[in-house]
Structure 1
Amino acid sequence: MRPEYYLLNSSLNRGIIAPDGILLTLFDFMNAALQQTFELLLIIGIGVLLQKKLPKKESLGGVKTLILSVALPATIFIALLKIKLDQSLLFLPLMALVFNFSLFFAMRYLMKFFLPIKKGSKKRTIMMLLPSLAPGLSCFPFIMAYLNEDALALAALADVGNKVFVLILLYILAMYWYRKRAEDQTETSNSSKLKRLLLSLLNEPINMVIVVALVMLALGWNLGTFPEFLQNTIGKLSVMMMPLVLLFIGMAVRIKWSDLGAMLQLLGWRSGMTFLITGFFLLLLPGLGKSMTLLLLVFPQSSCSFWPFAHMSAVSALEHKNAGTKPTFDLDYAINILACSLPFSTVVIIGIFYFGDTVTNATTCFVMGGIMLILTIVPNAFKVKSKRTLRDFPWSVKRKA
């Protein structure tokens, strides 16, 4: 057989022979989805190389300020003003919101049986990041490459529910944790605490942008209400968002080889639990087409969102102003999770699309989810076994002093 002839074995073009070196699905996949993923990972890699230019973490303050005060507010403003809900498709954002809450409560009540994570700043950081989704970075390129524009539009509509969760509900949760811990560590009156909290909220550009956008939506306005020069300015500021965030992740990440296994365990647990939740959705919604089923599978497997990190950074800024306040979140740990989440989700999403015919049923989702959850337990079991000595066994006899 000539090397340019291949039998494409994909979920969308099974049994199609592509002559003359034209690999239809694989070619489109490489040029649309995989190459875009490589672009994102390359930007993160450039950020890693820039670590030598910024040896001190304080040097990253300017980049983070630019993201939180300019690029991220512009992106959020545009995203909120583009929200257009159709009553017939309202179930999509509701399903995304249900998934966010399902994963959040699974982390709160079930994670302790799989991963030994103690209560504290790391656990609060995990509970902020893992239920969030960033489909624009990790999911949308593959939906466009493997499915079509209609599926991409449905995914964007589902992302509305995810945006409500990550932009509003997680922010409220972050501030609740901050206020609760601040009340335990200070003795100021409740009225002064509430006043100080409200003033700090109004001083944050992200909060002002959300308020303005919600008021405009309530009045029936959108981005087209502004003059053209203002629209272009906001759009250009928003364009900085993705490269700045990826560069910041690369410059700030400090992953040790000893911590990489723990990160993979954490993300593996997230992916496994996501497969289980998706399996329940497939049982409740039988008769979905292949395209809709694949969309339901890959959308929840998106990487963790950067927006919860923005909320945690806002809380960290408040804590720096109040000397003596212990950190509510572990920002270094959050950066490491974000850096590992993108490539991990990319591999999972590629695998789902490649094996599309075999994973589009609830039974397979349950099996895959169970296997991934079991794999997260195995390293901990070996650790416990390796730490045990003869004195830990019931037949051991302790010597008298």
Structure 2
Amino acid sequence: MDGALQKTISFLLFIFIGFLLKKKISTGDETRGIKSLILTLALPATIFIALLKVKIDGNLILFPFLALGFNIVLFAITPLLLTLIGININSKKGRSARILIPSLAPGLSCFPFILEFLGDASLAKAAMGDLGNKFFVLFLLYLVALKWHYKNADFEANSLKTKLISLAKTLLYEPVNLFIIVALVLVSFGITLDKLPNYLSITLTRLSYIMTPLVLIFIGLAVKIKKRQFFELSSLLLLRAGFTLLFIVGIVFFADITIKKDILVMIAFTLSACSFWPFAHISAVNLKEKTENTAEKTFDANFALSILALSLPISVILILGILTAGNTFTEMKNLLLLGGILFSIGLVYPIFLKLNTRIKSSTDNEHESSKNNSLEFSSDK
């Protein structure tokens, strides 16, 4: 059996184990504890090791800016995707989707698979890219959420300044970012993994070993398939994935990227699930509106949660499938075909809705016409 296929089956088994553990592990504090363990210990240690193994050059500095550029493009295109599936972009649901869809959560949805399939060098590039994504998610989307909340009203400058300082500290003190900064400083002085004290390198290496199993089990625990909004959100997320792949085709073509691993890193990173941070912004705004007894709410927290719940399994399935296929999707015609297929599947739901609406409208008109004819016939008699 092919090695990549064996890895994929192994990964799916871990996810299945997590799914089976739902009855034993609650979806509240215990699941959040596993997520916290991943993000504060296993993932930072893995990225730290990956960066110390790789020769850092000027090209790595480009990755945060490339990721930030992708976030901005996806933010700009999201209103069009929402319009396609019939969601009003200025509604509570629309605003919730507009700050969730452009966000990325690579730590839980693509880093483990990039490490397993593409290696440390590729993970280092993805980790650097996540710095740009974090800036977009933590700062720019927070400003957008505030702008929509306050609309035309004047807001408290001091309060905003305080919150932005708090966000800056969050960005700086987040374990993943701290480990990236420390690793970059060490590498800039020529300190690599083999030059660290043996006990420290062994500890970090063993911490990194638990990341992939933990992430996969967490995915199995976190997956919640709800009937309500399932087709609507599946359509939206498939349109997002389809557009992402078509965007990557354009980048690879115009930038003339030929390194296959770099293309796969770009694909996996940009297909990451939606981030939790925009939901945190939504929750903060909702709490403020509740305190102030605001009649018109800015966001729909339940809709945002549904997006988070469904985006993780969809992203993982797509990323695993693409990486398992080896270099198949480094060929632009294959990537273009897959992007077109995903986009087309995403359009099935809105097309069905429109057809159903037209049929219902036609049926209602026929019924009304029949009723009027019956009344006219009775009047004639």
Counterpart residue number, 1:334:
308
**Offset at 1:125?**
2.0
| Helix, strand or coil at the partner of 2:250 | helix
TM-score, with length taken from structure 2: 0.69
Give the superposition deviation at 1:160.
Answer: 4.8
For the 8 Å contact 1:134–1:305, the answer to whether it is kept is yes
Query: CA 1:230–1:50 in structure 2 vs 1: closer, same or farther (change >3 Å)?
Result: same
Whether the aligned pair in 2 keeps the contact of 1:302 and 1:345 (CA below 8 Å) is yes
1:166 to 133, 152, 169: 133
Distance 1:72 1:336 in 2: 22
Offset of 1:51 from its aligned partner? 1.4
Number of aligned residues: 354
- Select which of 202, 216, 220 maps to 1:250: 220
RMSD after superposition: 4.6
In structure 1, the residue matched to 2:33 is 62
Which residues of structure 1 form unaligned runs of 5+? 1-26, 144-151
Cα offset for 1:323?
A: 8.8
Match of 1:387 among 335, 351, 357: 357
Q: How does 1:259-298 map to 2 (within 5 A)?
A: 261-262=231-232, 264-285=234-255, 292=259, 294-295=260-261, 298=264
The reply on whether 1:100 has 2:70 as its aligned counterpart is yes
Residue 50 of structure 1 and its aligned partner are, at CA, apart by: 1.6
Distance in 2, matches of 1:217 and 1:91, equals 11
Shift of 1:282: 4.4
The answer (yes or no) to whether the contact 2:41–2:207 under 8 Å persists in 1 is: yes
SS at match of 1:372: helix
Percent identity for Structure 1 against Structure 2:
26
Do the aligned partners of residues 312 and 361 (structure 1) sit closer, same or farther apart at CA in structure 2, a change above 3 Å counting?
A: closer
The DSSP-based 3-state class of the residue aligned with 1:111 is helix
Secondary structure of the residue aligned to 2:290 is: coil
Q: Residue 319 of structure 1: CA displacement?
A: 7.0
Distance across 2 between alignment mates of 1:340 and 1:277: 19
Contact 2:47 2:123 in 1 (8 A): no
User: Counterparts of 1:72 and 1:139 in 2: how far apart (Å)?
Assistant: 12
Tell me the CA shift for residue 338 of structure 1.
Answer: 0.8
On the 8 A contact 2:65/2:129 being kept in 1, the answer is no
Decide whether aligned partners of structure 1 residues 181 and 246 sit closer, same or farther in structure 2, where only a CA change above 3 A counts: farther
Cα shift at 1:105: 4.3
Partners of 1:103 and 1:274 within 8 A in 2: no
- Which residue matches 2:96? 121
Tell me if structure 1 keeps the 8 A contact 2:68–2:132: no
Alignment of 1:1-400 (within 5 A): 27=1, 29=2, 32-55=3-26, 57-75=28-46, 77-78=48-49, 84-87=55-58, 89=59, 93=63, 97=67, 100-101=70-71, 104-105=74-75, 107-117=77-87, 118-129=93-104, 135-139=110-114, 141-143=116-118, 155-156=122-123, 158-177=125-144, 179-180=146-147, 189-199=156-166, 202=169, 206-207=173-174, 210-211=177-178, 213-214=180-181, 217-218=184-185, 220-221=188-189, 227-256=197-226, 261-262=231-232, 264-285=234-255, 292=259, 294-295=260-261, 298-302=264-268, 304-305=271-272, 308-309=275-276, 311-312=277-278, 315=281, 324=290, 330-351=304-325, 353=327, 360-361=331-332, 365-389=335-359, 391=361
Separation in structure 2 between the aligned mates of residue 175 and residue 105 of structure 1, nearest angstrom: 13
How far apart, in 2, do the equivalents of 1:317 and 1:69 lie?
Answer: 22
1:7 matched residue in structure 2: none
Contact 1:271 1:369 in 2 (8 A): yes
* More displaced 10-residue stretch of structure 1: 214-223 or 379-388: 214-223
CA distance 1:70–1:177, change in 2 (3 Å): farther
Which deviations, in whole Å up to 9, do the C-alpha atoms of 1:27-82 show, x marking residues without a partner?
4x3xx212222222222221211211245535434334434444444445555666
CA distance in 2, matches of 1:235, 1:271: 33
Residue 124 of structure 1, CA deviation: 2.1
Question: Could you tell me how far apart the structure 1 residues matched to 2:340 and 2:348 are?
Answer: 13
Check whether the contact 1:297–1:352 (CA below 8 A) recurs between aligned residues: no
Distance, in Å, in 1 between the alignment partners of 2:110 and 2:6 is 17
Q: 1:254 to 1:153 in 2, by over 3 A?
A: closer
Per-residue deviation at 1:95? 9.0
1:4 aligned residue: none
Compute the TM-score of the two structures, normalised by the length of structure 1.
Answer: 0.67
Query: How far did 1:233 drift?
Result: 3.6
Q: Deviations over 1:89-129 (max 9, x none)?
A: 56983795377347524643542353334413244222213
Match in the other structure for 2:377: none
Relative to structure 1, is the Cα distance of residues 284 and 306 closer, same or farther in structure 2, using a 3 angstrom cutoff? closer
- Secondary structure at the residue paired with 2:275? helix
- Offset at residue 203 of structure 1 (A): 6.3
- TM superposition shift of 1:381: 0.8
Q: Which has more helix, going by share of residues?
A: 2
Q: 1:156 deviation in Å?
A: 4.1
Instruction: Give the letter aligned to residue 238 of structure 2.
Output: G
- What one-letter code is carried by the residue in structure 2 that aligns with 1:302? A
Q: Letter of the aligned partner of 1:97 in structure 2?
A: A
Letter matched to residue 167 of structure 1 = K
Shift of 1:391: 4.1
